[in-house]
Amino acid sequence: MKTGKLYLIGGGPGDAELLTLKAARVLRECDVVLYDRLTTPAVLALARPEAELIYVGKHDGEQEREQARIFELILEHATAGRTVARLKGGDPLVFGRGAEEWAVALEHGIEVELIPGVSSAIAVPGLAGIPLTFREVSRSFAVVTGHWKTGTNMDWAPYAKIDTLVILMGTKQRVLIAESLIAAGRNVSEPVAFVEQGSMADQRVVETELGAVAKGEVEISGPAVMVVGEVVRQRKKFTK
C-alpha cells in the first residue's frame, strides 16, 4: 500500500477568512484532520464532510502523553495510505511542536508539506490596534513562549532591552513573567495589553501596566496574547 502524506497546516489566529487559500483547499482534500484546541469551528468546517476529525488538544499535565498520541495518529493514518492534515492554530512552526511532528513523519518515510499560517503573535496585536513596530517607539520585537517545563526557570534578562515583547501561552504565568521582567530591568509603569479571542467577534483587550500584572491585579478569563512595550499606547490612535 502506498504511504499517505502529512500536511502541517497553519490555522491562523481564529477567523476562518484569515486562513490561506492553500490551507482551505488542502483541508477539503484530506482524509483525516488532527486539530488542536485553538482551532475554531469555522476553520474546522472547511474540512470535507467525509473526513475523520480527531481532537488532539493538550491540557495541563497531559502535554507529553498527548504529543505521543499525536505522533502515533500521524503514523497510523499516513502509513495506511491516508492524507493527514495536522491543523494547528497560528503557524505550525511557532511554539506548536510542528517541527517535531515533521521530523517523526520523515523518519518513517512519510512525505510532509508545510502550509504556513498567519501567526497570532503578529496578527492578534495588529487586529487589536497594536503595531509591533512604530517609528521612534519600537524598532524591534521578540516573540517569547510563556510556557516552560515544570521545575525549570526561564531567564528573562535577554528580553529586558527589546522594545516590544509578544508573549504566547503566558496567561497562567503572567504574574511570574511580569515579576521577572521587572527584575530584569523593565519599568513597572510600562504598558501591557492582553488580547483575548484575537481576531474573533468577541475579542477583548485588557490594557494595564507591568507593575499591576506583577501584583496579580489583572484578571484574564482565557488564553490571550500578551504584549509588553510602549507600542501599546499607540492603540488609542487606531481604536475608538
Instruction: Please identify every residue annotated as catalytic.
Output: 36, 58
| Side chain identity at residue 164, one-letter code | T
Helices 98-107 and 63-79: crossing angle in degrees, nearest 10, is 40
- Beta-bridge partners for 12: 90
Contacts by 138-143 with C-beta closer than 8 Å and gap 24+? 138/163, 138/164, 138/229, 138/230, 138/231, 139/163, 140/164, 141/165, 141/166, 141/229, 142/166, 143/94, 143/119, 143/167, 143/168
Q: Which three cell numbers stand for residue 182?
A: 521587572
